[in-house]
Amino acid sequence: MNTPVSAATEVDLDITGMTCASCAARVEKKLNRMPGVIATVNYGTDRAHIALPKGTSIDDAIATIEATGYRAQRPRVESDRERAYDEPEVRNLRRRVTISAILTAPVVALAMIPPLQFDYWQWFSLALAAPVVVWGALPFHRAAWTNLRHGAATMDTLVSLGVGAAFVWSLYALFLGGAGDPEMRMAFQVLPSQGAGNSEIYLEVAAAVTTFILLGRYFEIRAKSRSSQALTALLSLGAKDVTVVSDGRERTIAIDELAVGDHFLVRPGEKVATDGRVINGESSVDISLLTGEPMPADVGPGDVVVGAGINTSGRLVVQATRVGVDTHLARIAALVEDAQTKKAPVQRLADRISAIFVPIVIVLALATVVGWSITGADLAFAFTAGVAVLIIACPCALGLATPTALLVGTGRGAQMGIVIRGPEILESTRKIDTIVLDKTGTLTQGRMSVVDVLIDDNRPDTVTLTAAVESASEHPIGRALAAAADEIQLVEAFRSTQGQGVRGVVDGSTVITGRPSWLVHEWSISIPPTAHDWIDDQRERGRTVVATAIDGSFGGAFAIADAVKDSSAHAVSEIKELVGEPILVTGDNTHSAQAVADQLGIGSVVADVLPESKIAVVRDLQAQGKCVAMVGDGVNDAAALAQADLGIAMGSGSDVAIEASDITLVRSDPRSIVDAIRLSRRTLSTIKGNLFWAFAYNIAAIPLAMAGLLNPMVAGAAMAFSSVFVVGNSLRLRGFQPTG
């Protein structure tokens, strides 16, 4: 039913059938011509974000898109998940590329190497080339036909025309000309001659152009097919079922059945099913997946917990306060989706040029045929010249320009632990002038460890005894203290006080370790003034302090923090030289953040931020005209990574952050940030150089072809040479060296 909306509304629509950025631009132009409609079409996500005025229905927008030659539908999460995992489009295109390449290789070899030619070789080539031209190039033919029906022309149009013209002329030469002779041999001729064109075939040109362009399309569509995986990975963090407590009875239900106000159970090691408030029990909840911070939160009755947090120790009964789309996790997912949908598509240079180049080439080819016919040349010669124009202009090297550089550049990046998603990302790296850095897991280790120790001279065994008693604790601080000793002794009579500390007997000594205030007030431990000063200094530096008492006397204290990575200082220095002063943004407290910033020489710090605040920081910088790169590793970074002009995720981080990013650093070495930007810029420069020379070869030869001075076979050879040049230029990226 076509029901107009009663008020202004916004809607997202999935669009299928777009083959290039110019397609997205054409759909966007058509939508924005509708009265009161404001639309952006993202070719990278195949999605349109449309603001509809009152009285305009969603069906009206869909009808406009379909009238433009494409299909549209409301997005469905289920289909997104299926597309993300099955990737049928990628598999189908890969099969088309593989089969076309296998069939094309002998066709090219026979045409270009005369000694390989045998009786009836041309008919053998026809049998191999025909499936490539008809079935392999079908996506280009279909797109060209769609463009023709709507009065438009893209590179698909030129590919279809060039391939079709070369193939049709080859059929003419084989069946009606002299090319069908069993003993026919074909050699290169620099200049075409009157009456010679009907004895030459161009099957290798038709097949090779098809295969090369398909290869470029494959690399492009493979990167696009992963666009929906971020949301799938994010939503998978949540619990699938939950144990509900009602009238003293426990029963397990699906998470979708949970309602606000229900009481549910969270056992040690389980995920918190949804946002809620603790009714009964005490524990520590690890929310690092959401916050990115390693320190778990101690919770008890009345405290708030968020869905997807992991209960590390005690048994909790929680009352659900938010469910479904209202949860903290769902809101982060919405932020990621919004940022991805509204990210402006980067227009391919080839697509921008094709808007002018393609129609001009078609006109020039027709003008060549007509012109030579008027001058009295025979039809075969005129048609040969026209075919030469189409073939020399056909974007064979253009199809290789991006994928070969991308393949070599990303391959070299993979060797260095850098994963670049696609060519559109490279453009962003060139413009970056501001880098926002997450702290935990990016510049720091992402786990708690002992960074400083104060030991009483009378108790040199403090470290060993503390590690022994903490080895029985499940708390991350306990694990950090346990790791401080080379050998763990047996602990007896272990007891834990939630949120305060632990105690036990080790080798006959009573050991108490925990908060300094707990030792003083609960156990009447006297802490020396020098130790007090040390503790205060450590706290001012943003570190957590744990004190130890042995047999009723102060034994020492431990400073625990998320240690800075060894390479972080060098990385920050390189970032300053390459881009400029970085900005540190973290959900950690101000003291800890400032301590890390001071250690690394970072002047700008934004601390105590929520995921919504992180994306707000990025948006504020973008509003100031900055081109922003965001580097992070946690779920809390995912929305900001998607919003940023360039998202860089550390490989040790969450799957969500990695999927929402543009570049992934597998080695999690901060120096890889610099390497990623340098390699991306180098790859982009190579692509642009390839594109320039690809067009230069063609454009320079078009006048020769029109003048009848360029045999189509020579045109094919020029295309082959330009392709070799482009590939050779791309291979230079293999020599890229990382930062020392």
Phi, psi of 43 (to 5 degrees): -65, -30
Phi, psi of 265 (to 5 degrees): -100, 140
Amino acid at 307: G
CB 673 within 8 A of CB 579: no
**CA nearest 357: which of 215, 523, 156?**
156
Q: Is 453 helix (H, G, I), strand (E, B) or coil?
A: strand
Catalytic residue among 14, 156, 286, 438, which? 438
Which own/partner pairs from 566-570 qualify as long-range (CB within 8 Å, at least 24 positions apart)?
A: 567/669, 567/670, 567/671, 568/443, 568/444, 568/600, 568/670, 569/599, 569/600, 569/601, 570/670, 570/671, 570/739
**Cα distance between residue 306 and residue 237, in whole Å:** 12
**Cα distance between residue 439 and residue 538, in whole Å:** 19
Place of tokens 């040390």: 534
**Cα distance between residue 732 and residue 737, in whole Å:** 11
User: Is 452 an annotated catalytic residue?
Assistant: no
Q: 214 exposed, middle or buried (CB, 10 Å; 0-12, 13-18, 19+)?
A: buried
Cβ atoms within 10 Å, residue 513:
30
End-to-end CA distance of the chain: 64
CB 346 within 8 A of CB 362: no
Residue 546: strand pairing partners: 558
Q: 325 exposed, middle or buried (CB, 10 Å; 0-12, 13-18, 19+)?
A: exposed
Q: 90 exposed, middle or buried (CB, 10 Å; 0-12, 13-18, 19+)?
A: middle
How many helices (H) and strands (E) in the chain? 26, 26
Residue 663: strand pairing partners: 420, 648
**CA nearest 627: which of 593, 670, 662, 659?**
662
The H-or-E segment that residue 39 falls in is strand 38-42
Active site residues: 438
